[in-house]
Every structure is written in structure tokens, then in C-alpha cells.
Structure 1
Amino acid sequence: MAEQQPHSAVDEENVNSSDSETPPENSRRCVQLQLPDHTAAYYDRTELTRATEPITCDSNLVENVCSNYIIVKNILSHLPWQEKLLCKHVCSTWNSAIHALKKEQLNPADFVIDLQLSAIKNGIKFIKSSNFPTEPLVVFTFLNTAAMEFTSKCMSLLPHPCNPPCEKEHSMLDWVQQEVCAPKNCMLIVRASHLSYLPLLKSPTFGKSITYDLMFRGLYPTISGLYIPTIPDVKYQVINIKSNSDLEKAFYYEVREESKDNIFKGVIVYVTEKYLLHSVEDFHYLNYFREVQPDIPYALGGCIVEDSIYDKNDIKLNIDCVNTGDYFVSENLISIGIFSVPKSIINTEGEKCSFDMYSLVIESTDWHKTKIQKVINEFANRVPQFEHSVVLKLSCVGRDKRHEMEQSYFRAAFPNTPLIGCYGNGEIGINHPARLVVEEPPSRKRQRRDPAPQLGIVYSYSTVFVYIGWGKITSS
């Protein structure tokens, strides 16, 4: 497999790498995508006047169709969530239909951009397992270093992000943001050397699964992601730490305020390599979740990655760096994604959309395949399986061939759960529910070199699974 360069798939003769300033708009090789006019007008609350010719049709038929709740709901169910934002203001019938669809269309979706050489020659496709029918709660996006600065001509991107296609190039990150999230800012992007991606077997994206062997055989640019829709009664927020002083100003204050009215269900932590791991004390701040919520367990998973991006402005800065030939690195030290539910819904009667999160740490001592399978099966037997679910896999590269084994066993235990994640340089996690403690006789046979000590929530040579489930419980 040929290795691809982490820049454009087209001619780069217009790039002046020695220019440290942002070039003029007309000389830029890569331009940022803009929202469609009608979406931008709605988002900015401005009036939009367009020269359009009305379609001539029977007014009585239009009235009957547009006022029939069942017909309207069926038609609107096929629209992307951005269009639903506008349609809900048409009339009370449409508004009711869209609110009903928001509670019904709760399926997750995964997506991938195939940047292998064969795909580039035939057009770069944005492949998704299903549509994004509901406003996203969060979009987890993973990419390797080669994909960070990858751009391509608008005409080569399928579907074309511009209508009609423009003559400029676009960033792959910007394209993902436009296809899935825009105008909402809810995408947490992680850059890591190697990725994990295992869609469901019958999914349109399954053929683009990223295996351990494939990833290490050729470092071609790779982007994959996971969309989680807005779930009733579930809140998601991100705390970005850009300096040590932000821990006191942002982290402790936000967690303390959030804990007053909400219960934490799960925490996802991405620590960038700029935040060096000197000792376990560097992560003592994560114990604050346990301090404000001592009697209620929660899931925790994370790892040390190359970089993380949450702000849309970082995508613009990345595009500017592409045009000037500079290498982009965000200022983020730590990105923390927090899932919570209101305390008011606990112990209340009535039909609610259930939601919960669980986490499993497969430690460095869990090295033999029978032990790995046993640990995963025990976890699967102790947590409920939901109608809708996803799992994040955050693992150490040093576990070698056990990556495929772990994914295979997890898929067997959770056959309807798409998996995505990355390989880091240190793992963070807790076992929720707590793992069963079984004393085993010592073995004289050395399976691998002695692991580093496991201290608190920080691990090495380990794998952390974070299972996120919502909707009806199918088995328990």
C-alpha cells in the first residue's frame, strides 16, 4: 500500500511555505466552507431574499398534504437535522411532527472518509452508516497525523460540499464539520498516530474498518467518526483546559456547578502530549468527580493523545496553517467531555429515555487471550444492553496483536454496538461496575516484560472501553 502525503491530493504549486502570514483570500489554496444561505440566515436570525420561481401545483392537494400529521411526519423524517430546524417553524403540525421525530430517531451513526490512493483517484467519498436525522449531542472524530492537513478539490469530494462545486480546495476536517455538525459546535476531534474503527457488519461503512494490521502496514490519511444524537434528559458539555490556571477557573468551577442539579454518568478525557505525565499527581483533578458525587458511580475513560480540537476556530486556524505551510497544533492541554442527567428525573415515574455509561479497564496483566475474553464477558454480563449503543476504545499501542482479539471479543459480547477509538501513550479509566476480584495462582511463565505499576486511574499497556447506551434496555 502506497503511503500518502499529509497534504493535498492535488498540485501544490500555489503554496508558499515561507510565508508566515495568512495569504489573501483570492490566493488561498484551501478555503473554509460556508453554511448554506438558508441555514446561515436562520442561524444568524437575518432575513433572506432569494429569487425563486414558485412551483405550480394544486393548492388543495398541498393544503391536505401539509396539514396531515402522518404524511408530514413521514416526509420530514427523511430530512437532515439542519433542515428540521427550519421546518419546525412552518406551523404547529410540522412543529409537533419534528418534536416527535426527535424522540424517535435516536440511532447513532458512524462515518469515514476513505483517503487511500484508489479512493482519491475515483473521488473522495464521505461514507456514513446512516443519515444524521436528529440534532447531534456530540460527534467524536478521530484522525491520524497524515489526515490533519489533508485537503482536496471541491469537485473531487463526494458529495460536493459546494453547490455548484467551487474551484478551491477544502479541508477534510472542515468537510466533516459541515456534513455532520454545522451550525452546531459539538465535535470533539482527537489526533492520534493510530486509530480503531469497527462498524457493524451490515453497515455501509463496514468495508472501511480500520484493523491493527491495516493501520500499521501503511499510514495513509484516515478520518473516522461517531455521531450520537440528542437524547432526552441527557446533557453533554466539554471543558477545555489550555493552562494549569484553567483547572481552578474552568474545571473545578464547572464541575461543582454542574453537580448541584445533575448526576454525572460518564467522563471522557483526552490529555494532549503537551500536558506531560510526570506522576500520578498530574491527574488528581479527575478525582474531583468522585468528591462531588461520592455515592453514585460513573464511567471514566481517556488516554494521552497527540492533540485535541473542540473549537470551530481551531479548524479555521488549521486551514490558515495549510495555506501558509505551517504545522497546526492547538493550545489545548486537556479536553474533558462530560455526560450528565438531571437529578430531578431520578426516581420519577413515567416513560423516560433511559441512558447510562459503563467503563472497563483491561490491565497490562490481562495478557492471555482466555483472560481477556473472560474479563469482557464478565463485563457484558453485568451491564444492561440498550436499544442504541456505541463504544469508545482507548488503548495502548504496546498491546500488539491483542487489539484485534479485544475488539473481536467485545463485538461478540455486544454485536449491535459500533466501535471507534484510538491508540494513546497512557490510558485513564475506572471499572464501572467494579471488576470481580478472583485470586489466581502465580504463574512462572512470563507472558511479556513486567508492566509499569498501575496507579489509581492511570494505566499503561492497557485498554479502556467506554460503553454508552440509551433507549430501551434489550437485555440485562
Structure 2
Amino acid sequence: MAENPKTSTFEEEADNDDSSLSSSDDLKCVKLSLPKNIAAYVDKRELQRDVNLITCDNDLVEKVMNNYVIVKRILRVLSWQEKMICKHVCSLWHSAVLALLKEQQGPADCVIALQHASSKSIMKFKQSGILYNEPLAVLTFANEMGFNMSHKCRSISPYPCSPPCSYEHTMVDVLQNNVSAPKNCMLAVRSNCISFMSLPSSPTYEFKITQKMFLRPNPFISCLYIPMMPDVEFKVISIRNVEEMQKKFYDVIDELEKKYIFKTVLAYVTEAFLFHSVEEVVFLNYLKKVQPDIPYALGGCIVEDVIYDTKSIADIVKSNNENVEFVSGSLVNVGLFLVPKDSNRSNFDSFSLILNSSEWAKARIQKSINEFANMVPQFEHSIALKLSCVGRDQKHEIELKYFRAAFPHTRIIGCYGNGELGLNHPERSNTDTGAKRYRYDPGEQFGIMYSYSTVFVYIGWGKLLSTSDT
């Protein structure tokens, strides 16, 4: 990956870029390759480089290389991909990387959005900070335009290739290559409208989604990066047809329950899965059966599409060349945050809140969010997902405002769907259940499916900043 070019330089090159593919080129869009050093590491091969050696004082180099304090300070500012390689230098460097794994536990957020440089449009990749640790999960949300959008390499900032090539790249691939590659941990949701609000001090705060943006959406992709942490696992169950449900969901849940506690359940279901009846979402209640005495957070949406594996990203590139809309064929995707049953090292927890359709007034929304904030602990590190009904778009900024006021240090991301999945954890009392329902159904499907609602999922880890009132 090339270093970020200065804005003025990038704009000049973008304006001067009149290059186009020749008629002999078969491909319009290509998938990005890993940086050479990362690719060599993954393939377990030596990387041959043509470099000019710099003469150094060997004694000084030896002292620096074997000074734990100095090495740790150097490694601290490297990205997780570089740390992945550095930990194999020697036992001292390995120890320094492991120590930083425990210290650099903060989340980050990233966006890819359309911007303008003079008369040219560019796609800008921007992140809130260095991604210091190997990711546990990269929770990604893209609108329709962003999901299938491709742009010429020279019109993407910073350049995905060094030097920039003559081809186009899809934005989902650019995000995956920057954030999670070579690891496969990005769960990407495609929806008509999405939510995003970084922290006010973050470089990505300027990209926050407002209600007006729903009317004239530009290509947009955003993600929350959650780093690896002791004794926390992230698993994704992806189901492509109903016949796989027993083998890929029920059997997997049974196996995971033997060793793990379910802390967070993120469920994304497509309309194709609910074609016959919304009662199909009853499968999510199986988690209550295998874990009846330990509550967990649940949030989700009925969305257009979801991808998890890198093969799907390659298929997006292929479909872009064929000028067809990409559809993964995935019906159900469930993301699970788990902790081992015998663990006492993890300070990780998750909670969820449902604002149902009766909670429409500003005062009611604020009251419910504040009550939720008083009932759950607030952590040193946290993220939140906002999963809403498309009919609730007028409440978008109101809900963001009140949630940010209650959780001032929490990044917020999410999407809008055609039905919401959720549980109240902790349970709520005195809530009005007279909500409008999804389609023609007489009631909430087994207590987990809603419409005209918003589901917040709050995930926190690290030191406690405050404890709940209960």
C-alpha cells in the first residue's frame, strides 16, 4: 500500500488522468492483491527485494534491536499487518507484540465515500486511526451504490496499487484489502440506507450520515473495526439455503454451546428467506433453549444482501466486469461474539435495546435510551449498532443524538431494513407492545421480530467507566 498522497498532488493527478483501457483489455475491474511483504508472509516464502543497503553502526543496531523498551515503542505505531510479521523476528519482538495486543484494545472506524477533487470525483478511503491490532471482527455496512461501485485505481485516495494501475477496483474490495486482509473476518451488509456516526474528534466524523442523505444517497461504505482481545471469539454462520439450517445452524450452535457462552447475536436475514412466512425467524429462539439462564444481546435486520467470505468479494469484481448486479445468494448470516465458559480473563459484554413503534415521540425516545444507559455498564472501549426500520428514517438524527448523549465515547454504525430482529437485554418493564407489525402478522414473531422499530446493540470491553444502577 502506497503512502497517502497529499491532497493537492492527488487532485492534480486526478484532473490529468485521461487514461482509459485499450480495446484489447478483457477486464474493466480487477481484484486487489495483498502487499508483497504480506503476501510473502502468508505464503511462507522469502521475499526477494532489490534494495540499496544503508551502512549502519552494527553495535548501535544490536542495542536497539535488543532493547525491549525501544522495540516496543517502535512497534506500537505499526499496523496490525506489520506487527503480524514483526513478531517472528525474535522472542523479544514476539513478547513486545503480545504486550501491545493487550494494551492497544481500542476500536476504530473506516469509511469509503464519494468526494470531489476539482472537476473529478474520487472515492476516498479514510480511517479514524491506525489499526493497531489484528481484527477480531470488521462489521461493515454499505448502501446499494457503494456495494457494487467500482472506481479507477488513480481515482481512489489513497491509491490501492503502488504505482496506480489502469484498472478499476470495487470499493468493498478496497475496504477489505485495507482493513482485514489477509484475515477473513469482515461481515458486510448491503442495505438501501445506512447509519454512521464516528466520534467528534475522529477524522471520519465529517462523514456522519444525516436524514437528508437518505433522499440523495452517494456511494458509501463504513465499518467498525474490533480488535482481538483475550478469550473473545467471533464466529459467523452463513446459510445459503433452508436445507442447510440443521447442519449449519442448529448443529453448530450445539457444538459451540459446549465450550462457549453467547454474548452477542447479530442476525441478518434476506427477503428471500422470509418469502413464505416471517415465522421462519423462529430459528433464532434456539439460542434461548441452549442458553436459558444467561442473557445475551440480539440485534438484526431484514436486508438486501450479506457477504462474509473473500470468494464473494472476488465474485463482486467478476459481476462488475459483466455489468450485472452482484447477489451473494446468502439467505441468513449470524455473527456471534463468544467467550469460553471457563474464562475469567475477558471483560467483554453486550446489551440490546428495542425502541418499538409506539416510542415515536422525542421525549419517549430519550427516556428509553437514558433508562437503558442507566441499566448497563459503560466500558473503556465500545461500539454500537443501530438497526432500524425504513419507516423510521425521520427519527434517525434524533435517535443518534440521544444515544450519543447517553454513550459519548461510543461509535455508532448500522443500517435500515424491512423488519428488525431484537431482544431487550436487560429486560424492560412498562413498555407499550401495541406496535405496528411486519406485513399481515398478528404479533411479534416469538418476541424477536418487530417493525417500525430501532434496535440498538451496545458492545463494550476493557475497564468499566461506570456500572449500572441495577
Normalising by structure 2, report the TM-score.
0.91
Aligned equivalent of 1:362: 355
Q: Which of residues 451, 456, 459 is equivalent to 1:460?
A: 451
Aligned residue for 2:187, secondary structure, equals strand
Distance 1:119 1:246 in 2: 51
Aligned equivalent of 2:365: 372
Spell out, residue by residue over 1:192-251, the C-alpha distance to the aligned partner (whole angstroms, 9 max, x if none). Answer: 0001001111111111101112222x1211111111111111000100010111110110
Say yes or no: does 1:314 pair with 2:348: no
Shift of 1:141: 1.1
Amino acid at match of 1:406: E
Say yes or no: does 1:341 pair with 2:334: no
Contact 1:153 1:167 in 2 (8 A): yes
Contact 2:339 2:346 in 1 (8 A): no
Aligned pairs for 1:26-425 (under 5 A) are: 26-117=25-116, 121=120, 123-216=122-215, 218-276=216-274, 278-345=276-343, 348=344, 352-425=345-418
Aligned residue for 1:163, secondary structure, equals coil
Shift of 1:452: 6.9
Distance 1:395 1:120 in 2: 36
Matched residues, number: 447
Distance 2:133 2:76 in 1: 9
Amino acid at match of 1:268: L
Shift of 1:13: 8.2
Contact 1:395 1:462 in 2 (8 A): yes
Distance 2:150 2:217 in 1: 17
Residues 1:400 and 1:181: Cα distance change in structure 2 (over 3 Å): closer
Q: Which moved more, 1:41-50 or 1:206-215?
A: 41-50
Aligned residue for 2:336, secondary structure, equals strand
Say yes or no: does 1:435 pair with 2:428: yes
Shift of 1:53: 2.6
Deviation >3 Å, runs of 4+: 9-16, 116-120, 277-280, 450-453
Contact 1:364 1:451 in 2 (8 A): no
Contact 2:114 2:121 in 1 (8 A): no
Contact 2:152 2:166 in 1 (8 A): yes
Aligned equivalent of 1:19: none
Unaligned runs of 5+ in 2: 1-14
Spell out, residue by residue over 1:411-466, the C-alpha distance to the aligned partner (whole angstroms, 9 max, x if none). Answer: 000000010000000000000000122689x9xxx9xxx99733320000000000
Distance 1:377 1:339 in 2: 25
Distance 1:62 1:97 in 2: 17
Residues 1:189 and 1:400: Cα distance change in structure 2 (over 3 Å): closer
- Give the root-mean-square deviation of aligned CA atoms: 2.3
Q: Among the aligned pairs, what percent are the same residue?
A: 52
Contact 2:114 2:122 in 1 (8 A): no
Aligned equivalent of 2:6: none
Distance 1:439 1:14 in 2: 60
Aligned residue for 1:239, secondary structure, equals strand
Q: Which moved more, 1:30-39 or 1:176-185?
A: 30-39
Distance 1:104 1:194 in 2: 35
Residues 1:378 and 1:11: Cα distance change in structure 2 (over 3 Å): farther
Contact 1:273 1:307 in 2 (8 A): no
Spell out, residue by residue over 1:345-367, the C-alpha distance to the aligned partner (whole angstroms, 9 max, x if none). Answer: 1xx4xxx3410000000011111
Contact 1:15 1:325 in 2 (8 A): no
Distance 1:239 1:12 in 2: 43
Distance 1:355 1:262 in 2: 13
Unaligned runs of 5+ in 1: 1-8, 17-23
Residues 1:461 and 1:166: Cα distance change in structure 2 (over 3 Å): same
Aligned residue for 2:294, secondary structure, equals coil
Amino acid at match of 2:37: H
Distance 2:172 2:442 in 1: 36
Aligned residue for 2:95, secondary structure, equals helix
Shift of 1:135: 0.4
Aligned residue for 2:194, secondary structure, equals strand
Aligned residue for 1:124, secondary structure, equals strand
Residues 1:294 and 1:81: Cα distance change in structure 2 (over 3 Å): same
Aligned residue for 1:389, secondary structure, equals strand
Distance 1:406 1:438 in 2: 18
Aligned residue for 2:51, secondary structure, equals coil
Shift of 1:322: 0.8
Contact 2:113 2:218 in 1 (8 A): no
Contact 1:15 1:29 in 2 (8 A): no
Distance 1:118 1:274 in 2: 40
Aligned pairs for 1:6-45 (under 5 A) are: 26-45=25-44
Spell out, residue by residue over 1:331-377, the C-alpha distance to the aligned partner (whole angstroms, 9 max, x if none). Answer: 100110001100011xx4xxx34100000000111111111111111
